[in-house]
Amino acid sequence: MKAVIVDGHTLNPGDLKWEAMKEIVDCQVYDRTTPEETIARCSDAEIVITNKVIFDQNILASLPKLKFIGITATGYNVIDLQAAKNRGVTVSNVPAYSTMSVAQMTFALLLELCQHVGHHANSVKEGKWAASDDFCYWDRPLTELAGLTMGLVGFGRIGKATAALAEAFGMKVIVYKPNRDHKNHPTTVFVELDELFAQSDVLSLHCPLTETNKEMVNADRLAMMKPTAFVINTSRGPLINEQDLANALNSSQIAGAGLDVLSIEPAARDNPLLTAKNCVITPHIAWATRAARQRLMAATVANVKAFIAGDPINVIE
């Protein structure tokens, strides 16, 4: 079968190999594909592998040979699922490949806000330690996590992994989950959303984006938070009203934010968070450790193999 990987650079910028995929299909790999190039590049493909390239109703209607779309991600909003279903196109994603990497990144962002490692390391390179009258110095508050409350929005695989790390740091954990299951989690402290905002020293988002939770972090809820609190987002950018968060940071309504995702990616140059006070932003890399990408590639190959064998897995209904 003929397959096209339309944006392979995201998954494999050169440190992995596509050989396992090429062993099972006639595979053409493109590092990047623009919307204008998508139809021409995929016109003969029965299998398409995509990460962020969009396959909407119009594009799907222009690809009559297409039978399978493999998404090299967990999220699947780049595909018009109903249009794919109407055309008999199977769509599979890859769940759970980056759980520990994202949980790790959550704490990388949080620890930067607590210890300001990057800032202080740069200050040493600038000569401030060499010029110091004392054996040590710090010019930003240093925060210990033990005893603080970590509030989690969402309690799937990543939320649970983050909770375990928080507990290892000696933090208390509270959780907001719309469909909580007390029976399966008898020791978990579930609270309502507004209570979570009010009680948390660290609020960390680990939920999918839906119509009901878009901009759930907004001026009203930020006003409920402690002035010493941090907001962490490794989930989806639109969960946050970015202007409201920037206002809260610049007015010291909360102490800081660590963000790996924004509402528009790459970041819009006029995004107010780019210049907000005590806001650490990374370019959507929580998922991208080499180990996670190796798992992602292996699972994508497994999805294609299963489809060819007539027994598809990880199918999005």
Joined tokens for residue 244 = 């409201």
- Look up residue 210 and give its DSSP letter: -
CB atoms within 10 A of CB 171: 19
Query: Is the CB of residue 90 less than 8 Å from the CB of residue 68?
Result: yes
Q: What are 29's two structure tokens?
A: 């790999």
Q: How far, CA to CA in Å, does 117 sit from each of 124, 234, 286?
A: 11, 20, 18
Going by C-alpha positions, the residue among 155, 150, 193, 197 that lies closest to residue 169 is: 150
Q: Tell me the catalytic residues.
A: 236, 265, 284
Maximum pairwise Cα distance, the chain: 73
Nearest CA-CA partner of 47 in 15, 74, 14, 72 = 72
Contact 32, 313 (CB under 8 A): no
Structure tokens at 212: 């009901």
Q: What is the DSSP letter of 72?
A: S
Separation of alpha carbons 200 and 177, rounded Å: 15
